Copies of this chain bind each other. A is one copy, B any other.
Amino acid sequence: MLAVKIETGKISVIETPKPRPRKGHALLRLRLAGICNTDIELLRGYYGFAGIPGHEFVADVVSAENPKLIGKRVVGEINLACGKCIYCQKGLGRHCPTRTVLGIVKHPGAFAEYLTLPEENLRLLPDSITDEEAVFTEPVAAACEILEQVRFPKQASVAVLGDGKLGLLIAQVLHLHGLKVELFGRNQNKLSLLQPMGIKATVIDRESPRLPRAAFPFVVDATGSAQGFDSALAMIEPRGTIIMKSTVAERLKVDSANWIVNEITLVGSRCGRFEPALKLLKSKRLLLAPMISGRERLADAPQAFLKAQAPGALKILLYPRT
């Protein structure tokens, strides 16, 4: 089969044997996949990754122990958990200490014609959710995770920093949850995408960023940059909560005095359960089509990765064959 490979900072397309599913795993045939910023970070050496990347996908089940799954169109939770530890028992397999992660940690990813996942990770897709909607399940779940971690008062004001893919999804999810969202970013085109939903957006000038100081009880940092955290600290009110969605390779330098004197709460937030995301996708209230910047062939993955890194680019989709 065709597969994308990342090794020592290089990306290539290889021919490799079809994976053989382990006990309890299903064999899946890719319908389409999405390139996430994490994939780009993996290419840059984050996690010392070597292997097949990719964790946003829609696929058909080719083989499975559960006959009801065969032939079905699915998405899949990306954490492969042990199922036995205290985290797994609490339904927090995403934090299982011995977990592997599809396309990120020790489990071959979805940028390939075939992949495997534990059957319990699979979620059946209703016909009403299209492939190009379903491929957003994982990042939408990551946005929804915020609502599981933080209790927002009704109509609370939230600043979302970052007009990348995740920032745009977070702004939408929080807006649909009834919060008063203001989106901050550097790219006017990206920011204006959410205008049809009535989400207020403010362009931050790169040279002389004028940030509203101590103005928000909640700030989400989805900038993917270390400066984003400094901006969040400047914008948060005393006793406010900053939700951190940016994993940055470098170490953050934090002014702890500001943070402690003002009693700021910082909440690290990563991926989430698929159920709330699928519910939202089914509701058709998310603006996803304008977030697709391009469709490429799996065989052209190196070019697709370049396009995904271009300024102004949002989601690039990969199709196994076109």
Smallest beta-carbon distance A264→chain B, Å: 5
* A246 interface hit (Cβ, 8 Å): yes
Q: A289 contacts the other chain (Cβ, under 8 Å)?
A: no
> CA A259 – CA B267 in complex, angstroms?
9
A247 with B239, Cβ < 8 A, contacts A267-B265, A268-B261 known: no
| Chain A interface residues (CB < 8 Å from chain B) | 87, 92, 95, 97, 149, 214, 229, 238-239, 244-249, 251-257, 259-270
Contact call A265/B265, Cβ cutoff below 8 A: yes
Docked-complex contact B263 and A269, CB < 8 angstroms: yes
Complex CA gap A246/B149 in Å reads: 25
Interchain residue pairs A-B with the least CB separation, the first 7:
A95-B238, A260-B268, A266-B266, A251-B253, A252-B254, A259-B268, A263-B268
Residues of B within 8 A of A229 (CB): 256
A64 to B248, CA, bound (A): 55
A245 to B256, CA, bound (A): 10
**Which residues of chain B have C-beta atoms less than 8 A from A252's C-beta?**
253-254, 256
Specify which chain B residues have a CB less than 8 angstroms from the CB of A261 in the assembled complex: 247, 268, 270
Q: Do A214 and B97 touch (CB < 8 A)?
A: yes
Q: Please, which residue of chain B has its CB at the minimum distance from the CB of A255?
A: B251
> Taking the nearest CB of chain B, how far is it from the CB of A81, in angstroms?
12
Q: Is the CB of A260 within 8 A of B238?
A: no
Contacts of A247 on B, CB cut-off 8 Å?
256-257, 260-261
**Can you add 17 more A-B contacts, CB < 8 Å, to A87-B238, A95-B238, A261-B268?**
A92-B238, A92-B239, A95-B239, A97-B214, A97-B238, A229-B256, A244-B256, A244-B260, A245-B260, A246-B256, A251-B254, A260-B268, A260-B269, A263-B269, A263-B270, A265-B265, A266-B267
**Nearest-CB residue, chain B, relative to A41:** B257
For A267, the chain B residues whose CB sits under 8 A away are: 263, 265-266
Query: Which residues of the other chain, B, contact A270 by a CB distance below 8 angstroms?
Result: 260-261, 263
